């Protein structure tokens, strides 16, 4: 994915940056202070976008004595996925590609050593990224513009926690909304996905204020970043926690399929049923089909603290204790007062605002005295709202041809892709018990600032600060050129091949595409080996690390999640491999266009050869990558699109 992003960035940045004057919402580059002789106080301003330390312009000698100064502001960020300037950008937390911020009067900081300070989430977790004021070409080589260029080489967002917050989907799926019939959002980088992880004061989509309307709680109010947390859950059951009897639920273990391959969906084992996703509806017909219950009418709750026992259909071989319905979602941070039944919550969105197309839920199973209760909410806007999933042919599942229609038992056809299933199925399959992250996990900036520091690292000046500019971080990702995910913790979970797609197989409880995993068992239940480091092995698949050292005949370590302490398998060319990241890095000669400046000041470019370190390619065996051919290039009339800055020699 990083290679794709860098290519797209190089093509689009030159054109987009020159349009900054049109994108900044019509804000003038100069702002006039009403007091004559105003000087810089050296302290950051307040509000949505502030900051002093401004630079006087050449035309500040006005007849009325007013001093015109340049005020720095950050207004847009370059989106590497679309090649456009936006006020909200989403990237994976292991991103290390180009990142630029544009704004007003960035030129005045050209001589400054600056940092971009990101404050994430309700906790305001600080990440400072070194930056320089760089110049980028405009539409023609003769035009340039200043931008804040961030140093992303260390993957500065790698350790930002994303398992506390989630993305919510606020696309309009109604007919005529612009999305084609049956189209659904599958990318976490979609512009209408919002990370609910902020205090209300840092949510620019909320139109209230601290005096007359300090709470986002009324029907129709919008606060898309305001914190709220929900989690998929199973039926509740009796348990003992810290010596006290209570009712608990688990995160679903299985999607809504016939887990037992020898049985149909309607006859699946009871132990599998109670570990599946609950339907995101109050339809009794769907509940009865998905979970073999015996509800009638609409499924409803009467008491959050004393949920009703689940009625099972005749013939269900019940094992264990009673099970109870408490809605398809846990609602962390929401508590019910026993006598009054009033809900108390640490959510930033409350009341009727919770139940809407721009809220958390669209409806609830629990209404008390005419008041909708959060505990019991369903039809959630949690991303993804629904999904099409890859399974092996003939797997039974619960789905529908239309995403919002009632679902029933269907069977996977020859395409290996289901119709629309509830979003819980994708979140369950993509959940990582190692990182506690799923496809919906995220974090988001409360503020983005330009700052200066002294030699001890203390902030000496806040040059600009903006709460309207947002960066959303989602889980690690690295998509290869076949559109296959290669980051282990982001792969789909599995316990057999049939849970994976028809062109995938299950190793170490993760689905691997056969495009990137050259060795694949044919038997249905193969899940890969579990031998630990140092134990004897004969092939990679016997090892939990998928790395069998051919020299020692023992399992070796392999951990590559972008950390500084990564340990790589490092297979030599000619040795077996499961994917290219298990091969050693080798030297490859590549050609790149490099910017040059002619005597008359015109920006041009030349073609140069560089040596890069890349993982050897893997087709079952590590092999030397093919050397890229020299591209066509006319020095007399060079095409400089995508040219890079000249490398710096130390």
In tens, the pLDDT along 131-184 reads: 998 875 444 455 566 789 999 999 999 999 999 999 999 998 875 554 555 556
Residue burial 368-389, b: 16+ Cβ < 10 Å; e: rest: beeebbbbbbbbbbbbbbbbbb
d(CA 614, CA 625) in angstroms, rounded, equals: 8
Q: Look at residue 97 and tell me whether its pLDDT is greater than 90.
A: no
Tally the C-alpha atoms within 13 A of residue 157's C-alpha that lie toward its C-beta: 30
Looking at residues 444-465, what average pLDDT do you find? 92
| Phi then psi dihedrals of residue 535, to 5 deg | -85, 150
* pLDDT for residue 14 is more than 70: no
pLDDT over 70 (residue 41): no
Q: Is 407 exposed, middle or buried (0-12, 13-18, 19+ CB in 10 A)?
A: buried
Q: Is the pLDDT of residue 10 over 70?
A: no
Please state which of the ranges 123-132, 281-290, 300-309, 546-555 shows the lowest mean pLDDT: 546-555
Percentage of the chain beyond pLDDT 90 is: 43
Which among 338, 308, 302 is positioned nearest to 324, based on CA atoms? 308
Question: What's the pLDDT score for residue 518?
Answer: 53
What confidence score (pLDDT) does residue 411 get?
A: 94
Residue 626 confidence (pLDDT) above 60:
yes
Q: Which residues pair with 493 in a beta bridge?
A: 510
> Does residue 366 surpass a pLDDT of 60?
yes
- 221 pLDDT exceeds 50? yes
Q: Torsions phi, psi of 545, nearest 5?
A: -85, -10
pLDDT confidence bin for 491, thresholds 50/70/90: confident
Task: Indicate whether 524 pLDDT > 50.
Answer: no
Largest Cα separation within the chain, whole Å, is 92
Question: What is the three-state SS of 606-639?
Answer: EEEEEEEEEECEECCEEECCCCCCCCCCCCCCCC
**543 CB neighbour count, 10 Å cutoff:** 27
Condensed to tens digits (0 to 9), the pLDDT of residues 236-293 reads: 999 988 888 899 999 999 999 999 989 999 999 999 999 999 999 999 999 999 999 9
Q: What is the per-residue pLDDT for 566? A: 66
519 closest CA partner among 476, 575, 557: 575
At a CB cut-off of 8 Å and minimum separation 6, what does 410 contact? 396, 397, 398, 399, 400, 418, 419
Report, as an integer, the average pLDDT of 82-102.
90
Q: What number of H helices and E strands is found in the chain?
A: 5, 39
Listed range (43-57, 87-101, 579-593, 603-617) with the worst mean pLDDT: 43-57
CB under 8 Å to 60, separation ≥6 — which residues?
Answer: 67, 68, 69
Residue 559, classed as helix, strand or coil, is: strand
Structural element, H or E, at residue 119: strand 114-120
Query: Can you read off the two tokens belonging to residue 68?
Result: 């015109």
* pLDDT at residue 637 greater than cutoff 70: yes
Cα–Cα distance measured from residue 278 to residue 280, given in angstroms and rounded to the nearest whole number? 6
Lowest-confidence pick of 38-42, 131-135, 643-647: 38-42
What is the structure's pLDDT at 27? 30
Contact between residue 360 and residue 331 where contact means Cβ atoms under 8 Å apart: no
pLDDT score recorded for residue 527? 45
- For residue 503, what pLDDT band results from cuts at 50, 70 and 90? confident
Residue 489 is predicted with a pLDDT of 59
User: What distance in Å separates the CA atoms of residue 382 and residue 171, rounded to the nearest whole number?
Assistant: 11
Is residue 103 within 8 Å of residue 487, measured between CB atoms? Answer: no
Residue 623 β-bridge partners: 617
Decide if pLDDT at 208 tops 60. Answer: yes
C-alpha distance from residue 532 to each of 455, 536, 580 (Å): 46, 9, 21
- Residue 145 has a pLDDT of 67
Q: 327 pLDDT exceeds 60?
A: yes
Chain Cα centroid distance, residue 251: 20
Q: Left (φ > 0), alpha (ψ -120 to 50) or beta: where does 457 sit?
A: left
> Cis bond leading into 327, ω under 30°?
no
Return the beta strands (E) in 196-354 as ranges: 231-232, 236-241, 244-248, 323-324, 329-330, 334-336, 343-345
From CA 297, how far away is CA 365, in angstroms rounded? 12
Q: Model confidence at 87, in pLDDT bands (50, 70, 90)?
A: very high
Mean pLDDT lowest among 45-49, 383-387, 399-403, 457-461? 45-49
For 247-277, give one letter per residue: b (16+ CB within 10 A) or e. Answer: bebebbbbbbbbbeeeeebeebeeeebbbbb
Q: Determine contact, residues 465/119, Cβ cutoff 8 Å.
A: no
Tokens representing residue 256 in the block: 């809504």
Question: What's the gap between Cα 243 and its chain centre?
Answer: 38
Tokens encoding 576: 């077996």
* Per-residue model confidence (pLDDT) at position 175: 57
pLDDT at 501 (0 to 100): 81
User: What is d(CA 539, CA 507) in angstroms, rounded to the nearest whole number?
Assistant: 13
Q: Which of 557, 591, 588 is nearest to 571 (CA)?
A: 557
The token pair at 277 is: 């996703």
Domain boundaries in the chain? 2-158+442-474, 231-399
| C-alpha to C-alpha distance for 27 and 514, rounded to whole angstroms | 52
Q: Taking a C-beta distance cutoff of 8 angstroms, is the pair 375, 336 a contact?
A: yes
Higher pLDDT, 2 or 220: 220
Cα dihedral 249, 251, 256, 262 sign: negative
Q: Is the peptide bond before 384 cis (omega within 30 degrees of 0)?
A: yes
Reported pTM: 0.72
116 with 450: CB under 8 angstroms?
yes
pLDDT in the model for residue 492: 80
Q: Give 21's pLDDT tier (boundaries 50, 70, 90).
A: very low
Which residue in 486, 511, 402, 451 sits closest to 117, CA to CA? 451
Cα–Cα distance between 490 and 485 in angstroms, integer?
7
Q: Is the pLDDT of residue 195 over 90?
A: yes
Confidence at residue 519, expressed as pLDDT on a 0 to 100 scale: 53
SS3 string, 267-285, reads HCCHHHHCCECCCCCCEHH
CA distance 182 to 178: 12
């Amino acid at each position: 994915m990083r290679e794709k992003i860098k290519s797209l960035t190089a093509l689009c940045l030159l054109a987009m940056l020159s349009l900054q004057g049109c994108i900044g919402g019509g804000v003038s580059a100069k702002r006039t202070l009403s007091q004559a002789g105003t000087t810089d106080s050296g302290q950051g301003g307040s509000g949505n976008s502030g900051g002093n330390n401004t630079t006087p312009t050449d035309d500040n000698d006005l007849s009325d004595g007013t001093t015109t100064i340049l005020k720095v502001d950050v207004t847009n960020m370059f989106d590497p996925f679309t090649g456009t300037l936006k006020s909200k950008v989403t990237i994976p937390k292991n991103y290390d590609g180009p990142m630029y911020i544009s704004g007003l009067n960035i030129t005045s900081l050209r001589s400054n050593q600056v940092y971009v300070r990101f404050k994430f989430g309700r906790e305001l977790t600080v990440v400072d990224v070194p930056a320089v004021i760089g110049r980028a070409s405009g539409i023609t080589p003769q035009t340039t513009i200043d931008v804040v260029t961030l140093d992303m080489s260390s993957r500065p967002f790698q350790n930002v926690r994303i398992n506390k917050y989630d993305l919510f989907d606020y696309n309009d799926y109604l007919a005529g909304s612009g999305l084609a019939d049956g189209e659904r959002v599958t990318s976490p980088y979609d512009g209408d996905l919002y990370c609910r992880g902020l205090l209300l004061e840092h949510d620019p989509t909320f139109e209230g204020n601290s005096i007359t309307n300090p709470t986002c709680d009324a029907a129709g109010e919008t606060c898309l970043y305001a914190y709220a947390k929900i989690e998929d859950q199973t039926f509740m059951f009796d348990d003992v926690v810290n010596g006290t009897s209570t009712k608990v639920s688990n995160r679903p273990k299985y999607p809504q399929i016939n887990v037992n391959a020898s049985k149909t969906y309607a006859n699946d084992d009871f132990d599998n049923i109670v570990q599946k996703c609950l339907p995101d509806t109050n339809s009794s017909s769907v509940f009865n089909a998905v979970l073999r219950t015996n509800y009638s009418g609409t499924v409803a709750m009467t008491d959050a603290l004393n949920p009703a026992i689940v009625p099972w259909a005749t013939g269900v071989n019940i094992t264990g204790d009673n099970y109870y319905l408490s809605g398809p979602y846990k609602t962390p941070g929401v508590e019910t007062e026993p006598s009054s039944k009033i809900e108390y919550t640490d959510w930033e969105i409350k009341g009727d605002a919770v139940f809407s197309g721009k809220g958390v839920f669209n409806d609830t199973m629990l209404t008390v005295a005419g008041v909708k209760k959060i505990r019991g909410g369903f039809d959630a806007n949690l991303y993804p709202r629904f999904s099409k999933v890859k399974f092996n042919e003939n797997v039974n599942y619960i789905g529908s041809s239309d995403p919002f229609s009632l679902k029933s038992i269907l069977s996977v056809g020859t395409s290996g892709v289901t119709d629309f299933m509830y979003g819980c199925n994708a979140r369950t399959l993509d959940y990582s018990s190692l990182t506690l992250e799923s496809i919906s996990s995220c974090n988001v900036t409360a503020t983005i600032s330009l700052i200066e520091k002294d030699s001890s690292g203390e902030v000496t000046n806040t040059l600009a600060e903006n709460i309207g500019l947002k960066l959303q971080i989602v889980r690690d990702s690295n998509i290869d050129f076949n559109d296959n995910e290669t980051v282990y913790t982001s792969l789909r979970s599995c316990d057999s091949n049939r849970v994976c797609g028809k062109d995938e197989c299950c190793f170490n409880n993760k689905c691997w595409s056969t495009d990137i995993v050259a060795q694949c068992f044919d038997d249905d239940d193969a899940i890969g080996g579990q031998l630990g480091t140092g134990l004897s092995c004969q092939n990679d698949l016997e090892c939990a690390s998928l790395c069998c050292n051919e020299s020692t005949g023992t399992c070796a370590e392999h951990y590559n999640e972008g950390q500084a302490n990564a340990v790589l398998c490092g297979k030599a060319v000619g040795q077996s491999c499961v994917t290219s990241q298990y091969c050693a890095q080798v030297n490859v000669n590549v050609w790149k266009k490099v910017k040059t400046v002619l005597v008359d000041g015109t920006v041009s470019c030349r073609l140069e050869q560089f040596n890069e370190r890349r993982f050897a390619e893997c087709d079952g065996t590590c092999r030397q990558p093919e050397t890229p051919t020299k591209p066509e290039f006319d020095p007399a009339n060079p095409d400089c699109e995508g040219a890079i800055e000249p490398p710096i020699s130390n």
